Structures are given as structure tokens and as C-alpha cells.
Amino acid sequence: MEWGRAKSILIITFLLLNLLLGYQLWISNINLLNPFFGGNEMIQETRKLLEEKGIEIRGEIPTEKLNLNQITIDFDEKVQKDISFELISPVDVDEIISGEVNKTFLDEIEDFDQYQYDEVVSDENQQVFNQLYENLPLFDVQLKLYGSEGQLTHYDQQVAIVTPDITEEEQEVLSAPLVIHLLAEDYLKQGEVIEDIQLGYQGFESNPQALFPKWRIALGSGDIYYVHAFTGKVEVIQSI
């Protein structure tokens, strides 16, 4: 009996070791491919794959090369989450989209200039802005403006206090061409349309909350993919 138990433990240990080695090899292969797909000359390779699969991409594929690290955020307790406030004067949706809003509006919402408009998740009755950190959006820290019939009358605001992780060295993020290539090979369907590609931070629901650099790829169907910019792990939020 003891030998049988020991044998089972050894088998399980070897299986776990093989899984770990396989994961490390997968990550190593991604990191080796990253420089290959990082330069402008290799964007054509990605576009060729998209063309072969009938996948359309709107706009240009980002080519910046960045070194980033994970961050931690705490929501500012002074700002009550999910509490709606009424604007002194309604604001036209067109003004928000164009960025030509009046001074009264700018003064009314605290630190409005620290947020970036998010066209992907906005619609006629809800305009969404993401808080910025080092010029990158925090996809889950939002300022939302609500209303109807083209007029925005209320808002709610999240404010995050950001703490960078100084215990780990910064890592080079996976390039956008590589991320698009990986999605096109294994996830995207024939005829898909890529509407938007953006690098930002996104993480888990907790407090404090750890956020990791992630590429957000939004499709014309409404589906949104988040790709971990270090590991290449893919998460999908499907449209309803």
C-alpha cells in the first residue's frame, strides 16, 4: 500500500512539473517572438494573416515599445462609488465627444483632465471616461456621464490612488502586432472587424486591487478581448 501511494505521489509530481515546464516554455516562446513582431517591418506579416482570415482592422496597429510593471490601486474613500450627482447645467453629448465643453462643466467635475474619453464603451446615453496613470487608461476606474435625448444631466465618478510596484523590475510588454497575431490565429473568427486597440491597466475585483498592463482589443461585434501584456493570457468579454 505504501509503495502504491508513493508511486501515485511521484506520478502527480512529474505531471505538475511537466505542466510547469510547458508553461515556462510557452512564455519563453512568446518573449522570443515579441522582438520579431515588434518592428514596423513585421506589421505586414500580421496584416497578411488578417487578410488571409478575412479579418478587417480599422486604423493603425500601435508600434510603441514600453517597459511597465503592475500597479496597485485603492479607491479614494472620499468619493462615494455608484452615487449619482446632478450637473448644474446639462451638457450636449456632441460637446463631450468633441472635447469642446464649457468652463462650468470643467470646474464642476474634480480632476476631469485626469480622465480620457473611452469611445468603445460609450453610447448616446452614457459617456465614459477612464482615469489615467502615466498616460495609460485604468479601464476599470471610470467617470460616467448619464442622460437622455442627447443631453447629459448626471454623473458618477471613481477615483483611484495608484501605487506602482517597486519590488519588481519593469518588463517589456508584448507588442501589439504579436498580440493581434495571437488572437487572429486562435480566437478571432472569419470576417471579424477590429475596431480599437489600446494598452492600459486592468485587473481583479479586490481592495486593494492589483492591475496589470493589458492590451484591450475591441471588435465590431461588441466583444472585447483583454490580453495580458506580460504573459499573453487572453480574457474575453462577450457582448450581450
C-alpha separations of 203 from 139, 144, 181, 183 in Å: 9, 19, 23, 20
Q: pTM of the full predicted structure?
A: 0.80
Domains and CATH numbers, the chain: 37-70+165-237 (2.40.128), 72-162 (no CATH)
Q: What is the model's pLDDT at position 121?
A: 92
Query: Is the Cβ–Cβ distance between 228 and 214 less than 8 Å?
Result: yes
Q: Once rounded to an integer, what is the mean pLDDT over residues 100-106?
A: 76
Higher pLDDT, 23 or 88: 88
Where do the H-state alpha helices sit in the chain? Answer: 2-36, 43-52, 93-98, 103-108, 176-186
Q: Once rounded to an integer, what is the mean pLDDT over residues 203-210?
A: 72
Q: Once rounded to an integer, what is the mean pLDDT over residues 135-148?
A: 92
pLDDT digits over 37-62, tens only? 555 666 888 889 999 999 999 988 88
